[in-house]
Chain A
Amino acid sequence: MALAVVGVAGAAVLPDDRADIFYSDYKGGGMDITGKSVLVRKKFSEQFAVEANYFVDTVSGASVDVLSNASVIKDERKQKNISLEYIHDKTLYNLAYTNSTERDYISNTTHFSLSQDMFGDLTTVTLGFTDSRNSVGENDGTAVRPLVSWLGHSQSRSFEGGVSQVLTKDLIAGVTVEVITDQGYLANPYRSIRYCADPGTTVPCLGGAVYGAQIYPNTHTSTAVEGRAKYYLPYRAAAAVSYRYYSDTWGVKGNTVELGYTQPVANLWILEGRVRHYSQNHATFYSDLFPSVAYQNFEARDQNLAAQTNTTFGVKATYAFLPDGWKIFKRGTVTGDFSHIHFKYSDFRDTRDYQQPDFTGPAGTEPLYQFSATVYQIYLSMFF
């Protein structure tokens, strides 16, 4: 999906020109992902701006359900994005194109949105449409010698609408609704189902378990609604709250709550803290362990579709420098961001033998899986 912001606020004025360099590191659940990005945004007039972004993710390791049934993976994702913005009177038009390429996954996305300020500029209405075409493959070779077989294609369409409303001189609130519909090859090729080896047995499987191919539906439609508000406190600081409800045709229902606090210090620092909690039930065709190989028409054991909760604690510090500018630059900021996320699954089990060498119980009684991840981000932003 496009990187372009379809935010619920911000129409009628184009943001400042800026150039960013960005570095990130994600570690957790057996994966190590480093990201590097360059972003340049330039206004060519008061009405027209162009933004270009190049992002490279380097992945090493593999998540637990991949490790249970496949080799360790080393891969790179390159994402190129260009976004055009045009403003006319109180309407902001945005057109963006994104290409994301991995060795075994190619995605091309086109996005269009418009934002309209109205009612004395207290209200901003945003409408967006995104079309994404994806090619899905599987690397059957090694990290050094890849052997990719292309399994199919998928298409995704997203319709988004948002309203942002200034409620008081200290309070702004917004609501965003997004409906996404996909069709085509929607399975993750690196996941497998697990089922009882002895036919006719029930879970837990006394005779052990074996792995088999997933069977996914080829359509998926989801609806997400997010409400959020930000309040300027009596002293110079801000508090934010958001809630998102999610529901889809695969039976997943999710709830996301996030609280944030922003505190500037001496016009040089902006310090931020956030807490995010997420929970979901499992998809109707998900099971950690099926009684038999063809137990139902659709079968999946993808940890993303399992019942789970996760909680994030994040802190962020932004330091402003060059307040009087330098050469072509008006000012600059450097930002450090750290997040700790704990993922906990209630029906996805850790089946890696080497993680619990003393475990001798039947399949289906392994310990439930959980892991923690850390995310570091550091970036330099120059405004001109």
Chain B
Amino acid sequence: MQRLLRMSLAGLFLLQAGCGIQPWVKPYERDRLADPIMSWDRDAVSGAYLDHIYDSREGSRGATGTAGGGCGCN
């Protein structure tokens, strides 16, 4: 119980500390980050299609943000 209390207090402290963080990149400095070339995946259908190709042929899966459905059994 005491351990849970200590962890809760630590969590609250971290949250409180987080609220005090000042953004070190100001909104007017984010024009480069807002450029379309900085997007992770501009075209969802195309990204999901390529992920489906890999998912159907590799043992690995997940954590790519997109995935297609279907078996890929053939």
Are A and B associated in one complex?
Answer: yes
Residues of A within 8 A of B (CB): 1-3, 5-10, 20, 22, 24, 26, 31, 35, 37, 39, 53, 55, 57, 59, 61-63, 66, 73, 75, 77, 79, 98-100, 102, 104-105, 107, 109, 118-122, 132, 134, 136, 158, 160, 162, 166, 168-170, 172, 174, 176-180, 188-190, 222-226, 228, 230, 232, 236-238, 244, 246, 248, 250, 252, 254, 256, 262, 264, 270, 278, 280, 283, 303-305, 308, 310, 318, 335, 337, 339, 341, 343, 373, 375, 377, 379, 381
Whether A39 contacts B21 in the complex (CB less than 8 A), given A73-B74, A278-B54, A278-B60, comes out as: no
Q: Are B37 and A238 in contact (CB under 8 A)?
A: yes
Give the docked Cα–Cα distance between A270 and B68 (Å): 26
Secondary structure of the B side of the interface? loop
Q: Are A79 and B74 in contact (CB under 8 A)?
A: no
In the bound complex, residues from chain B placing their C-beta under 8 Å from that of A176 are 63-65
A249 CB to closest chain B CB (Å) equals: 12
Chain B, interface residues (CB within 8 Å), range: 35 or more
Whether A230 contacts B40 in the complex (CB less than 8 A), given A39-B45, A66-B74, A304-B58, comes out as: yes
Residues of B within 8 A of A (CB): 18, 21-25, 27, 29-30, 32-33, 35-50, 53-54, 56-71, 73-74
Give the docked Cα–Cα distance between A39 and B38 (Å): 23
Q: Are B70 and A57 in contact (CB under 8 A)?
A: yes
Candidates A100, A236, A343, A377; contact of B46 at CB < 8 Å: A377
Give the docked Cα–Cα distance between A262 and B54 (Å): 22
A143 CB to closest chain B CB (Å) equals: 11
Candidates B21, B47, B60, B70; contact of A100 at CB < 8 Å: B70
In the bound complex, residues from chain A placing their C-beta under 8 Å from that of B25 are 122, 166, 168-169
Most chain A C-beta atoms within 10 Å of own C-beta, residue among B38, B45, B47, B54: B45
In the bound complex, residues from chain B placing their C-beta under 8 Å from that of A24 are 49
Task: Name the residue of chain A whose CB is nearest to the CB of B44.
Answer: A5
Q: Are B41 and A226 in contact (CB under 8 A)?
A: no
In the bound complex, residues from chain B placing their C-beta under 8 Å from that of A178 are 62-63
Q: Are B48 and A3 in contact (CB under 8 A)?
A: yes
Give the docked Cα–Cα distance between A1 and B72 (Å): 13
Give the docked Cα–Cα distance between A118 and B60 (Å): 31
Q: Are A238 and B71 in contact (CB under 8 A)?
A: no
In the bound complex, residues from chain A placing their C-beta under 8 Å from that of B41 are 5, 7
